[in-house]
Structure 1
């Protein structure tokens, strides 16, 4: 079963990632000579060059060519476009390295008027290359028997060129016809012819240049799929994406607004047509495989550069455009571009490339100079990142208001535009403009032309277009400088001048904001996007926001606010202690013009607490200096200092007593009572006969003999009584009175 389109296969993410830059040690003639062992049959050490140019292949269709992706692991350009998305002008641009306005082939009827002396083939031929053309040449050239200048081997499709059967090929002046047998399938025939060309070239002493141009998958209608792939995409489903039959086209030019939404039936037809295209591309995949296999079999891969690309893209329902090309939208303009060969590191390159670059690139590989005015630039430096690749703008044009050309799109206005790695801008002859940010809007849903937020980049695109629209040669090398960011700052302050700043609306038209730097004018700064700051002092405050984009360009914006002077808060502390533990309170602290935001207690013993109310246990008795510092919402502070004395818990006294009696008179002694942490200050006696007394030494006369329970309670200097009273039994003996004499 064929795989479905990935949702990431949009115009600017068509190879699953955007920003990998291939590393290449040296892509020069000397490097090419150093890589691998050259075939001994070659006297000329320059590389062979094979260009496979597909007809109407979209950039996102490359994912359906697994053999091509595997066999051509070279540099994949993720920002590759054509300057005119129409077959004949695009192919003329490839051959000449010129924009359509300069090579004068502006539609599909003017191929016969092309200056064939100004082609990469003619120059390679003149420098000693054997040159071969296999497949579709320029529309309108027809079945002329005369081979265009610069081609040694001419095998051009002649009649019924879009029919996969019953077509003819002009073989160096002789017309060869093909029938309806399976082996006559056009793409397979072209693949075999390419293979034969390579085999013949292997024994030559000269390098060869071969341009293979199958007509697959042009258009995509009819029974044009090879029998072996007839059912491969039978169940394939068109992926859903917001640009298909775009719901809101009010921001699009009038000719798009007039298009009706695509119906269910029309979607089905588009799906079937795309399934045909994908089926035809499987034979293209086979063509690439056969070409590479032949090069390998002849030991030529180590000295062959292979370029794989397309002459233009194709619409399949995006923005309500059911099919066709020759419009400014990405699906029509973007094309696959792979450059593979010795010394070229596999990877993805985000450098901006246009099909006008291919002729000078091939010339660079071959070590030749193109003697005419060339609008493109060689991509060889971009392959190796030997020099910083410029942020360039390239031209795209629609010349003439078409009714028949463009694959059936119908009448739409002409115009010109520019494309960069990130933006696409187009001006129509009607005065309408379109501007899309492919980073933020890869599906081209939101036209930013005329929007204030995009004015900087729109101005930059207009300046580039003004240069490119009339350029020729070196003047076509228009680099788009970095557009400086715009700093946007706002602030909201409360009554206490605690201010919330916001820099999130700062923008960079052609990149991203990389850093924010706030200077609050009071010695405090912040690198946050939206910081919170409180002003401590009154007066005029000047705040500056500076932003920097991803390329180092900077911009700033200042704000001015007027703040009042801050009233300093008043710190008042209070405490209460029980033994070694004290409770502290800041409840009496005040702030006249705001509120307290922080409290800090220091307890004088090395400990502290950041609480409004705190409890602290001291490790020992003593006197300590306590401090409370309060801070208000504007960072005003005040400190209260107090002194506190704490003591150990009081130990109760111990009552100790003794007694001695003579008859009924007893003497009580409490002087042996003690207090562990003080002195005994009071003695309370109970003699057990209802009589009490106080003092440390007391006497008591009992009323009569007997046993009495006497107790002593003592009190310390803090008035704390002994926990256990001293007790003693007093035995008062009976003593009879003496006898009378």
Structure 2
């Protein structure tokens, strides 16, 4: 039986990989890409930490398990990935960021902490309040677990890093890893073309307002500064990844260990004159990287552009371990896509958002290779983009005749999906510790 490691970052754009975008430096992630398969069409179920992570744990959409936004607790009574690995005889380990209320132990992860002797800070900040420090600590725990592993039973380990998520208490929003600052000169950092090309005049009014105030009241200098800090954090993340893979190699475990690398959602990085994340449907937030290294699996393609949901991460981890994907895991598995030589004829992926820290504009949405459709169901507003002609999502075609046929079709599909998956009928458990999002 294969060991399985799920490695996650927080807020990493789909192209934030050195071999994809040379403005990043991620040699260890590049090597993982070379060894495995890179999925480029994965759409996050929700571009917010808690809802997206609930999908990883359950294989369902956030509204199906009552985790609509940060501050909602994932019910321990739900079917979950640790329970399935436990039934298959695995040791289950969860280290790092959780963000789902209660603790991983409540969801039957057997090990949720580990020894930290030999703690290697690397280039991280020595103060524990920084994300870089937290990730160094998580990495040390994972390395020590691997060092102690004797092979008595297979393991499933989730290693969950905070970077490159913003939350630095100094010089916000993104932490600058000083050791790597010189590798990313601010003056050379790229600015997204949509920063200049999208005046948001066809977009919902709240986006226009948002772009002109608060954190999104940006200049070119701020965009470049964010880009520098963001890349320095991902370089340090890559160091941590390299240490984990090197440990697997040193112990002769790599050829019997599945590794799935992904993130919960992306980051705007100044695209469309917007910053960070929030109630926004853009590809910068919803298109997320998935890299799968699965020894023994033969792939017809090494880069797979098929449109798929991040809800499939759960089933993929089980499937790659040789465990039958249970019916509760509605997202299915990505492994069948390894055997396809081209994208399937029918591609339709759903996604959602409920409430962000800067606004209540809930939407349900769908994407095909040709179109992206978004319905703000509390405000009866729509966005629709022709992705073939407008891949950067600059012009909202809602209300225009050339998009009407697609709009009607996708509206029907979205409403049907919402109805058959229960809408907002699932009870919500409020997190009494994290007050954000409390209704």
TM-score category, normalised to shorter length: 0.7 to 0.9
Q: How many angstroms does 1:418 deviate by?
A: 0.7
Q: What are the Cα deviations for residues 354-394 of structure 1, in whole angstroms up to 9, with x where unaligned?
A: 11001111121223345563331211100121897352322
Q: What are the Cα deviations for residues 428-482 of structure 1, in whole angstroms up to 9, with x where unaligned?
A: 1322211112232111112222322222322221222122212349xxxxxxxxx
The whole-number CA distance in structure 1 between the counterparts of 2:126 and 2:77 is 29
1:358 is matched with 313
Q: How many angstroms does 1:192 deviate by?
A: 2.4
Match of 1:107 among 52, 66, 69: 69
1:513 is matched with none
2:228 is matched with 275
Distance 1:411 1:325, change over 3 A: closer
The whole-number CA distance in structure 1 between the counterparts of 2:261 and 2:187 is 25
Distance 1:133 1:207, change over 3 A: same
Q: How many angstroms does 1:191 deviate by?
A: 2.2
Contact persistence 2:177–2:229 (CA under 8 A): no
Pairing of 1:589-738 with structure 2 (within 5 A): none
Contact persistence 1:357–1:377 (CA under 8 A): yes
Partner-residue secondary structure (3-state), 1:60? coil
1:443 is matched with 392
Distance 1:387 1:244, change over 3 A: closer
Match of 2:382 among 414, 419, 433: 433
Distance 1:164 1:437, change over 3 A: farther
The whole-number CA distance in structure 2 between the counterparts of 1:104 and 1:334 is 23
Partner-residue secondary structure (3-state), 2:292? strand
Distance 1:380 1:297, change over 3 A: same
Pairing of 1:448-487 with structure 2 (within 5 A): 448-472=397-421
The whole-number CA distance in structure 2 between the counterparts of 1:251 and 1:118 is 42
Q: What are the Cα deviations for residues 251-279 of structure 1, in whole angstroms up to 9, with x where unaligned?
A: 11121233456999633223222321211
Residue 286 of structure 1 pairs with residue 244 of structure 2? no
Distance 1:189 1:52, change over 3 A: same
2:250 is matched with 297
Partner-residue secondary structure (3-state), 1:153? coil
Match of 1:76 among 31, 38, 43: 38
Partner-residue secondary structure (3-state), 1:94? helix
Q: How many angstroms does 1:139 deviate by?
A: 4.4
1:188 is matched with 136
1:214 is matched with 161
Q: How many angstroms does 1:137 deviate by?
A: 0.7
Contact persistence 1:95–1:359 (CA under 8 A): yes
2:434 is matched with none
Residue 154 of structure 1 pairs with residue 112 of structure 2? yes
Q: How many angstroms does 1:133 deviate by?
A: 0.9
Report how many aligned residue pairs link the two structures. 396
TM-score, with normalisation over the residues of structure 2? 0.82
Contact persistence 1:393–1:464 (CA under 8 A): no
Partner-residue secondary structure (3-state), 2:60? coil
Q: What are the Cα deviations for residues 192-238 of structure 1, in whole angstroms up to 9, with x where unaligned?
A: 2222222223x123111111111001126546344432433243544
Partner-residue secondary structure (3-state), 1:469? helix
Pairing of 1:359-374 with structure 2 (within 5 A): 359-369=314-324, 371=326, 373-374=328-329
Partner-residue secondary structure (3-state), 1:258? helix
2:304 is matched with 349
The whole-number CA distance in structure 2 between the counterparts of 1:52 and 1:433 is 35
Partner-residue secondary structure (3-state), 2:352? strand
1:127 is matched with 88
Contact persistence 2:218–2:273 (CA under 8 A): no
Distance 1:302 1:188, change over 3 A: same
Residue 231 of structure 1 pairs with residue 231 of structure 2? no
Distance 1:307 1:297, change over 3 A: same
Identify which of structures 1 and 2 has the higher relative contact order when contacts are C-alpha pairs closer than 8 Å and 6+ apart. 2
The whole-number CA distance in structure 1 between the counterparts of 2:12 and 2:63 is 24
Residue 48 of structure 1 pairs with residue 3 of structure 2? yes
Pairing of 1:548-563 with structure 2 (within 5 A): none
Pairing of 1:270-419 with structure 2 (within 5 A): 270-342=223-295, 343-345=297-299, 347-369=302-324, 371=326, 373-385=328-340, 389=344, 391-400=346-355, 402=356, 404=357, 410-419=358-367
Larger Rg: 1
Contact persistence 2:325–2:333 (CA under 8 A): no
TM-score, with normalisation over the residues of structure 1? 0.50
Q: What are the Cα deviations for residues 161-207 of structure 1, in whole angstroms up to 9, with x where unaligned?
A: xx955449xxxxxxxxxxx9xxx933233222222222223x12311
Contact persistence 2:54–2:65 (CA under 8 A): yes
- Relative to its length, the structure with more helix (as a share) is 2
The whole-number CA distance in structure 2 between the counterparts of 1:365 and 1:451 is 45
Partner-residue secondary structure (3-state), 1:53? strand
Contact persistence 2:279–2:362 (CA under 8 A): no
Q: How many angstroms does 1:116 deviate by?
A: 5.8
Distance 1:458 1:312, change over 3 A: same
Distance 1:304 1:422, change over 3 A: farther
Specify every segment of 5 or more residues in structure 1 that has no aligned partner in the other structure, as ranges.
1-45, 157-162, 169-179, 405-409, 474-741
Partner-residue secondary structure (3-state), 1:339? strand
Partner-residue secondary structure (3-state), 2:76? coil
